[in-house]
Amino acid sequence: MPTPLPLILDVDTGIDDSLALLYAAASPDADLIAATCVSGNIDAEQVGINTRAVLELAGRTDVEVAMGRQIPLVRPLETTPETHGPQGLGHAQLPSPSQPLSDRHAVDLILDEARRRPGEITLVTLGPLTNLALAVLREPALPRLLKGYALMGGAFGTSGNTTPTTEWNIHCDPEAAKIVFRAWADAMDEDPSIPRPLALGLDVTEQARIEPAHIVLLARRSGSTPDESMALEGGDDPMAPQRSVASDPIVRYVADALRFYFEFHQRYDGFYGAFIHDPLAVAATLDRSLVETEALFVDVETRGEITTGMTVADRRRLTGRAANLDVARSADVATFLDRLIELLGGLAADRVNVAR
In the chain, the amino acid numbered 259 is R
Q: Using CA atoms, how far apart are residues 45 and 280, in angstroms rounded to an integer? A: 25
91, 171, 214, 277: the catalytic one is 277
Rounded CA separation 93/248 (Å): 14
- Whether the CB-CB separation of 244 and 230 falls below 8 Å is answered with yes
Are 180 and 132 in contact, with CB atoms under 8 Å apart?
yes
pLDDT of 239 reads 41
H or E segment to which residue 257 belongs: helix 249-269
Supply the pLDDT for residue 234: 56
pLDDT for the residue 240 = 46
Q: Taking Cα atoms as reference points, which of 8, 29, 280 lies closest to residue 124?
A: 8
pLDDT of residue 314: 97
Known catalytic membership, residue 105: no
Check residue 3 and give its pLDDT.
94
Contacts of 299 (CB under 8 A, 6+ apart): 178, 181, 182, 311, 312, 314, 319
Q: Which residues pair with 296 in a beta bridge?
A: 325
Q: What distance in Å separates the CA atoms of residue 356 and residue 348, rounded to the nearest whole number?
A: 13
> Cα–Cα distance between 57 and 59 in angstroms, integer?
5
CA 78 to each of CA 40, 82, 128, 157, 171: distance values in angstroms, whole numbers, following the listed order: 7, 12, 11, 25, 9
Domains identified in the chain and CATH numbers: 5-355 (3.90.245.10)
CB under 8 Å to 155, separation ≥6 — which residues? 161, 165, 166, 167, 201, 202, 203, 310, 311
Cβ distance 25 to 347 under 8 Å?
Answer: yes
Number of helical H runs and strand E runs in the chain = 13, 12
DSSP label at residue 320: -
pLDDT confidence of residue 356:
40
Q: Rounded distance, CA 255 to CA 344, Å? A: 12
Distance CA(8)–CA(150), nearest Å, equals: 11
pLDDT at 33: 98
* pLDDT number for residue 238: 47
- pLDDT of amino acid 174: 98
Question: Which of 145, 100, 128, 158 shows the shortest CA–CA distance to 43?
Answer: 128
Exposed/middle/buried for 59, CB within 10 Å: 0-12, 13-18, 19+? middle
DSSP labels, 29-42: TEEEEEEEE-SSSS
pLDDT one digit per residue (tens) for the chain, 356 residues: 679 999 999 999 999 999 999 999 999 999 999 999 999 999 999 999 999 999 999 999 999 999 999 999 999 999 999 999 999 999 999 999 999 999 999 999 999 999 999 999 999 999 999 999 999 999 999 999 999 999 999 999 999 999 999 999 999 999 999 999 999 999 999 999 999 999 999 999 999 999 999 999 999 999 999 877 666 665 554 444 578 888 999 999 999 999 999 999 999 999 999 999 999 999 999 999 999 999 999 999 999 999 999 999 999 999 999 999 999 999 999 999 999 999 999 999 998 665 44
Specify the pLDDT at position 231: 62
Q: Which residues neighbour 353 within 8 Å (Cβ) at sequence distance 6 or greater?
A: none
Residue type at position 120 = E
